[in-house]
A and B are shown apart, each in its own frame.
Chain A
């Protein structure tokens, strides 16, 4: 039995120092051997994320051949300078910031420059240059100033099994007037892709994708495959994202049957590395071997305080879903919050869902139902205007969080909005085999089995949530979008009012 690899050995023995990793975030340095960059290196698009009042993080990953089997996207094995510009206008006539970061092969030629010194609460445009190629531009925005009671529109998305269908939902999201996108998990899936699950019509895939994803090159390739979708790229370019993962960014339910804990940590380490490489994340989320800090807060003036959770990494089955440290951080943050709205962006369903439609009660231990004491401690805080954004189940659900889920008359103390999947499970139907089960729980107010996302508008006085759905995704990306349900949650009165 080998010792658990320590953080130092994970970084050190790979010949990659923390400083080298940090270069991709815009630390002052240049590529030591600058050279030609292959043409058309921005085929995975551009992105921004985690806005603060004076800064955002920008992202791109150079990949002139995104589906190169070695996961390096057709880039040479040497570092490359990537320059960026941030402007007030999409013609880049009023440029406010310029800089560069080093795209290194250790990070699959991704860069994550953090741009500071921006004005709060305003729209910006950004683009990159590598060699003689200029990227398409992206639109982003900063958070409002700390005391600004602004308005916010955002979308919630999750579960994008590329192979199950077209990202029609993203085509529509890219046309929405939104300030922010919350992605709450399952950005990729690790499964082998073959004729059994390739339901997205009109695509041909190389055999290299017909293997469960375990190595770093495979995870990199899987991100490249999913990110090759033009509608996903369009949404990344349309608004800053605040992202967290669920299980499939590593492996279904973090199962590691037949694999030693040490070897599973190796897999987690490469999966976390690939996640960081492919998402607009700040330096604080740089992975260290099998560890990566993804839970964090995003403030939106006095309007909202977003707590982004990681319910996978620290999970102890049957004992804790957040881990003691994250739970304390969350409770401390909620207690200290003076924001009107307190929003959790997280993965698995928090409302109690009794899966036995008879007199008994059966619960899923994979969701918050498997961690009832922890849920009770959280809900006991009686956080004002608590809203929980959830993914995972591939179904659109709206539920009220109750003081006592077994007593429908008990106080409603929060609101849960579960975003249906972007792709996972292919074509859906409004009603399906689970409709009656979910709606048999009296605090579940809405269920729809189609693909889609939730569009939310937050003002100081109310939250409006709209469930946007498409009827099919397998055949093509042309399905229109419709609003399946619209709810209002007035500030000070948690729950769901049908509009």
Chain B
């Protein structure tokens, strides 16, 4: 059984092909190729996301054991080496940052559960740094925020125009309709990011194991940037809310 891996920031996706009835696949991960390592998951599916690996690249050696209905265990699959990616928040230099990249919504407006004040406090949407940046970004599926698209504006000054990376860390998203985050810079659209499904807890909980965080890091092309004042607009035109941990623009290493 051959394993394959797709890396991301803070996670590694494993996949394999298998025909036939199984009780489950037992997935082992080790930081050494010489030991089987610890059991990180039992799943009946043929894929697994090894998540919460942190912002710095980490390397693991994976093996999968198949357990059949009688409880018999197969020989381990051939080993696969895979590494997660490093976040620009670690490798790059910050240009402008809102909040702290710390897996909590602390430091953001209305956090951790004051979303019902959103409409009154941000009638025209947030415009940072003239206004605060709220922890929750509603979408058109949210009746409490008027069932309409919502845009957040993030202004920063750039002394020298060059390629940047926008880091958007989320503590959680909606579990079934996380929606799409549309990003534009000075009116030039540069990314449409389908958000990952979360745990639908981040609207009322600011940190902890009930959340399912995700990370979005996308390049902001130099062609969309200007010397001096710049504005990145975050628009949620589909789906429900997402909950921020922090956002920032960085000069990549």
Question: A residues bordering B, Cβ < 8 Å?
Answer: 2-3, 5, 9-16, 70-72, 77, 104-107, 214-218, 257-260, 262-263, 266-267, 269-270, 273, 289
Contact = CB atoms under 8 A, between A and B. Distances in A.
Contacts of B69: 14, 16, 105-107, 216, 273
Interface of B: 17, 19-24, 42-47, 67-72, 175-176, 197
Contacts of B44: 214-216, 263, 266-267, 270
Nearest to B176: A257
Contact of A269 (B21, B46, B68): B21
A467 to B, nearest CB: 35
Contacts of A107: 69
Contacts of B176: 257
Contacts of B43: 214-215
B71 A77 contact: yes
B70 A259 contact: no
Contacts of B72: 77
Contacts of A105: 69-71
Contacts of A270: 21-24, 44
Nearest to A288: B21
Given A14-B22, A214-B44, A270-B24, 11 more contacts: A14-B69, A16-B70, A70-B71, A106-B70, A214-B43, A216-B22, A216-B23, A217-B24, A258-B197, A269-B21, A289-B21
Nearest to B67: A217
A217 B70 contact: no
Contacts of A257: 175-176, 197
Q: Which of A12, A266, A267 has the most CB of B within 10 A?
A: A266
Nearest to A70: B71
A398 to B, nearest CB: 34
B21 A217 contact: no
A69 to B, nearest CB: 10
B20 A5 contact: yes
A260 B45 CA distance: 9
The 9 A-B residue pairs with the shortest CB-CB distance in the complex, in nearest-first order: A13-B20, A215-B24, A216-B23, A105-B70, A263-B45, A14-B21, A9-B19, A10-B21, A106-B70
Given A215-B24, A217-B23, A258-B197, A72 B45 contact: no
Contacts of A263: 44-47
B27 to A, nearest CB: 12
A72 B19 contact: no
Contacts of B47: 260, 263
A199 B21 CA distance: 35
A107 B72 CA distance: 13
Nearest to B23: A216
Contact of B71 (A3, A9, A72): A72
A115 to B, nearest CB: 26
Q: Which of B20, B24, B45, B197 has the most CB of A within 10 A?
A: B20
Contact of B24 (A12, A216, A260, A262): A216
Contacts of B45: 214, 259-260, 263, 266-267
B21 A16 contact: yes
A77 B175 contact: no
A2 B17 contact: yes
B197 A13 contact: no
Contacts of A289: 21
A18 B19 CA distance: 17
B20 to A, nearest CB: 3
A31 to B, nearest CB: 13
A260 B43 CA distance: 14
Contacts of A260: 45, 47
B205 to A, nearest CB: 13
A10 B20 CA distance: 4
19 contacts: A2-B17, A3-B19, A12-B20, A14-B20, A14-B21, A14-B69, A16-B21, A77-B70, A77-B71, A77-B72, A105-B70, A214-B24, A216-B22, A217-B71, A258-B197, A260-B47, A263-B44, A263-B47, A266-B45
